[in-house]
Amino acid sequence: MENNQQQNENAGFTGGRPPGLRLLGAIWIGKILIFLTRKLGRGGTTLPGRAALSIAPDLSFMLAGRLKRGTIMITGTNGKTTTASLINDILDKAGLKCIHNQSGSNLAWGIASTLIENCSWKGRMDGDIAVMEVDEGAFPDVTTSLQPRGIVVTNIFRDQLDRFGEIDSIQALIKKGLDAAPVGSFQIINADDPSLASLTKSKKTKRWTYGLELDLPPDDFQNTGRDVKACPNCSHKLEYVKIYFAHIGHFHCPSCSYKRPEPDVRLTGRRVTGEGINQIEVKLPDQTLELEVPLLGIYNLYNVLAAITCARAFYISTPIISEALKNAVPSFGRMERFQKDSKEMIMALIKNPVGANEILRTILNQPGKITLVVAINDRIADGTDVSWLWDVDFEQLAAVKNRFSSVIATGLRAWDMAVRFKYAGFEPGQVQVEENFEKAVELALRQTGPESKLFILPTYTAMLDIRRYLNKMGLGNPYWEEY
Rounded CA separation 192/81 (Å): 20
Rounded CA separation 55/42 (Å): 22
Give 413's contacts (C-beta < 8 A, 6+ positions apart): 376, 377, 378, 386
The CATH number that applies at residue 468 is 3.90.190.20
DSSP letter at 439 equals H
Residues 121 and 188 occupy one common structural domain? yes
Rounded CA separation 228/237 (Å): 9
Binning pLDDT at 50, 70 and 90, where does residue 86 land? very high
pTM metric for this prediction: 0.85
The CATH number that applies at residue 187 is 3.40.1190.10
Residue 284 lies in a domain: yes
Binning pLDDT at 50, 70 and 90, where does residue 415 land? very high
pLDDT in tens, 235-249: 899 999 998 988 899
Rounded CA separation 371/456 (Å): 8
Residues 25 and 85 occupy one common structural domain? yes
Confidence at residue 2, expressed as pLDDT on a 0 to 100 scale: 38
* Amino acid in the structure at residue 330: P
Rounded CA separation 248/213 (Å): 12
Confidence at residue 18, expressed as pLDDT on a 0 to 100 scale: 63
Q: Is 430 exposed, middle or buried (0-12, 13-18, 19+ CB in 10 A)?
A: middle
Q: Helix, strand or coil for residue 207?
A: strand
Binning pLDDT at 50, 70 and 90, where does residue 253 land? very high
Binning pLDDT at 50, 70 and 90, where does residue 482 land? very low
Confidence at residue 45, expressed as pLDDT on a 0 to 100 scale: 76
| CA–CA distances in Å: residue 349 to residues 104, 256, 344, 355, 464 | 11, 38, 17, 8, 10
Cα radius of gyration (the chain): 22
Residue 11 lies in a domain: no
Residue 10 lies in a domain: no
Counted residue by residue, the chain has a size of 483
Q: Using CA atoms of 363, 304, 301, 243 in order, give the dihedral in degrees to the nearest 10.
A: 130
Range of the domain at 126: 21-326
Q: What are phi and psi of 85, to 5 degrees?
A: -65, -40
Task: Give strand pairing partners of 212.
Answer: 267
Residues 165 and 190 occupy one common structural domain? yes
Using the 3D structure, point to which of 268, 291, 326 is the last residue of a domain.
326
Binning pLDDT at 50, 70 and 90, where does residue 187 land? very high
- For the beta carbon of residue 1, count every other beta carbon within 10 angstroms: 12
Residues 45 and 168 occupy one common structural domain? yes
Side-by-side strand order, sheet with 452-458: 334-340, 343-348, 452-458, 369-375, 404-410, 431-433
Residues 320 and 339 occupy one common structural domain? no
Looking at the structure of the chain, the number of domains it has is: 2
* Amino acid in the structure at residue 185: S
Using the 3D structure, point to which of 295, 326, 357 is the last residue of a domain.
326
